[in-house]
């Protein structure tokens, strides 16, 4: 009996070099249509992970808020328009929102990796949401930088904040999949996305409409909007930067029996 394992690396989608030069094709309608199909296919496996992410965001938000104001629910009701928003409430809410966004970044990275896995044909499990913990320090730093820049941009001009959010939207996946440093990943994301700003803006408008609809339905529509958003990011990343996949071929056999072949594809991010 002898056993042999051969490993080959495959590359799916675009390349980093082409992304930086804008030498890649991107159709907003095709991205949205594929993301819809992926969300339908993986919905029940992906939903628990996105619920965990949303729950973590809310929990961190409320904890930070409770440290800053006497009654966190007063701020929450003010956000949804049932109470008058005071300057102190607004400041506390912004800080709590910043903290929840930054400190939930590892789970956000895990959900992003799950969306990327779907985009390249892999199934995921709810526990894969914790994959982002391996990059916790880097993604927290990156999310802090991005959130601070967005906040600064919003103070100058709301559209600038939106532009920065779109321009840096591939940063987390670049850290996890390409192993780039936070600032380097931000620069690469900015350069690549600004090359195709119009189709990417159209895609993010669709996401924004879904989130506005979620707000109108008291958050119920988030059960679809969150998985859809991460699947969109996965498709966009694949088309822009490409994904490396390791394919291991195992062969077993001896002189008296026929050999059997098995293939195993592994996406390590």
pLDDT in tens, 2-47: 445 545 678 888 999 999 998 888 999 999 999 999 999 999 999 9
Closest listed residue to residue 268, CA positions, set 250, 241, 244, 248: 244
Percentage of residues in the chain having pLDDT higher than 70? 85
What pTM value is reported for the model? 0.87
Structure tokens, 21 = 């030069």
Q: How many residues does the chain have?
A: 269
Q: Contact, 19 vs 269, CB < 8 A?
A: no
Handedness of CA 206, 211, 216, 220 (dihedral sign): positive
Greater pLDDT, 249 or 45? 45
User: pLDDT (tens digit, 9 = 90+) per residue, 151-189?
Assistant: 999 999 999 999 999 999 999 999 999 999 999 999 999
Supply the mean pLDDT for the chain: 87
Q: Decide: 190 and 20 in contact? Cβ < 8 Å.
A: no
pLDDT score for 237? 97
pLDDT band, residue 265 (cuts 50/70/90): low
The helix (run of H) or strand (run of E) holding residue 7 is: strand 2-12
- CB of 227 closer than 8 Å to CB of 39: yes
Listed range (129-133, 244-248, 252-256) with the worst mean pLDDT = 252-256
- pLDDT for res 241: 96
């Amino acid at each position: 009996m002898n056993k042999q394992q051969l490993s080959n690396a495959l590359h799916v989608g675009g390349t980093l070099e082409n992304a930086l030069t804008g030498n890649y094709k991107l159709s907003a309608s095709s991205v949205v249509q594929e993301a819809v199909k992926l969300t339908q296919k993986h919905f029940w496996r992906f939903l628990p992970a996105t619920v965990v992410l949303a729950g973590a965001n809310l929990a961190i938000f409320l904890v930070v808020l409770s440290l800053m104001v006497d009654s966190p629910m007063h701020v929450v009701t003010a956000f949804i328009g049932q109470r008058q928003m005071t300057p102190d409430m607004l400041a506390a809410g912004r800080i709590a929102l910043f903290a929840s966004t930054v400190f939930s970044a590892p789970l956000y990275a895990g959900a992003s990796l799950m969306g990327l896995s779907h985009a390249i044909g892999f199934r995921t499990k709810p526990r894969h949401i914790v994959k982002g913990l391996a990059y916790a320090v880097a993604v927290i730093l990156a999310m802090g930088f991005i959130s601070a820049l967005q906040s600064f941009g919003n103070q100058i001009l709301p559209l600038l904040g939106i532009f920065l959010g779109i321009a840096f939207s591939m940063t987390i996946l670049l850290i996890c999949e390409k192993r780039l440093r936070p600032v380097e990943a931000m620069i690469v994301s900015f350069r690549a996305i600004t090359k195709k700003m119009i189709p990417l803006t159209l895609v993010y408008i669709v996401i924004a409409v879904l989130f506005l609809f979620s707000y109108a339905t008291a958050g119920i529509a988030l059960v679809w909007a969150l998985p859809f958003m991460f699947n969109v990011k996965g498709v966009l990343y694949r088309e822009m930067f490409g994904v490396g996949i390791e394919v291991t071929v195992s062969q077993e056999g001896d002189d008296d029996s026929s050999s059997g072949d098995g293939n195993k594809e592994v996406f390590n991010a």
